[in-house]
Amino acid sequence: MALVLKCGRDERAEWRSELHRLLPDMEVRPWHQAGDPDDIEFALVWKPDAGELRRFANLRAIFSLGAGVDHIMNDPDLPPGVPVVRLIDPELTRQMSEYVVLSALYLHRRMPAYAAAQKDGRWRPLPAPDTRSASVGIMGLGVLGSDAAEKLRPFGLPLLGWSRRPKNIEGVRCFHGAPGLAPFLAETGILVCLLALTPETKGILNAKTFASLPRGAGVINCARGGHLVDEDLIEALDSGHLSGAVLDVFDPEPLPEDHPFWRHPQITLTPHVASLTLVHSAAIIIAENIRRMRKGEAPLAIADPKAGY
Ligand code: NDP
Ligand code: OXD
């Protein structure tokens, strides 16, 4: 039996060598040289082509190469009954928390305004940032959102969080569900999006959400581009209601060259690098899940097909 791998060309050799080291009896086949589809027991994928996974009649699990599984779940022809397995990797979590702390402090310390002043050659000190009132609200309190909250705690900024189900996290005022959204937004000064992308959360960063934030709020999107309504963000920034945004993810990616985000003075953007899968670390987690399945145990971190993440 074999594993089929769909990853970036640059990482293919590393994945194959790590998986060979950890699972010496597993044959690893590249996506376009999968051979006899009936040999394929496991798929390890990033953005598989829609309908393609269904070719593998003996597939036992689909492993995501990233933390999000939307790139798999959005296939309307997904093989039924085959578990989709999320990647929960401490290295991914660490990187994301670094990005969130960096971006939240960047907005809190008004770095976009200082960058603009520097560009104009202007010496323009702003009032001291008041940490007591500069709250950070995290949408999505899953693996990444809850760790980001924990890493932000030592800075003393009031923390809020919003999720689908109720949560109890030390030092975080937790809200949940549709009724919890408005009170959460009303007290959020810096909004961080770390939600899973599902039909319910698509476009959630929109004009109504921005209008519910206090004037001068900032927005950080490091989940998926599909959460954000691009025009609504530009309008909220241009009207002065929002003061700045840090964006790591876009729809589509790469962000088209002529997209207004590139040159907007209040937007800082990065090319989907907030947290990158590190092969040496992720391969250990995937190999361990395959070993579990071979022993007849369920893999860890199966996505819930009903919830979609
Ligand atoms: P989790 O599945 O652990 O967490 C997802 C969170 O979203 C949960 O708190 C969940 O609520 C919440 N959620 C889902 N649907 C709703 C809803 N309808 N209303 C309110 N809350 C909802 O995922 P991770 O923390 O591991 O990852 C989060 C996302 O980060 C990924 O899906 C991915 O898109 C993105 N990501 C981006 C990267 C980058 O480099 N930019 C890298 C890695 C991930 P509940 O807790 O109640 O289930
Ligand atoms: C992920 C990502 O989901 O890289 O891991 O976006």
User: CA 277, 299, 6 angle in degrees (round to 5)?
Assistant: 40
> CATH topology of 2-89+277-294 equal to that of 90-269?
yes
Ligand 2 atom 4: residue of nearest CA: 66
Residue range 224-250, pLDDT digits in tens: 999 999 999 999 999 999 999 999 999
Residue range 60-83, pLDDT digits in tens: 999 999 999 999 999 999 999 999
| Strand stretches in the chain, DSSP E | 2-6, 27-30, 40-45, 61-64, 84-85, 136-139, 159-163, 172-176, 190-193, 217-221, 242-247, 267-269
CATH architecture for segment(s) 2-89+277-294: 3-Layer(aba) Sandwich (3.40)
Residue list, ligand 2 pocket, CB within 6 Å: 66-68, 277
Domain positions in the chain are: 2-89+277-294, 90-269
Alpha-carbon gap, residue 43 to 26, rounded angstroms: 12
Say if pTM beats, i.e. exceeds, 0.95. yes
Instruction: Calculate how far, in angstroms, residue 17's C-alpha sits from the geometric centre of ligand 1.
Output: 30
For the domain spanning 90-269, the CATH number is: 3.40.50.720
Is 272 noted as a catalytic residue in this protein? Answer: yes
Ramachandran area for residue 91 (φ above 0: left; ψ -120 to 50: alpha; else beta): alpha
pLDDT of residue 67: 98
Query: Which atom of ligand 1 is nearest the CA belonging to 274?
Result: 40
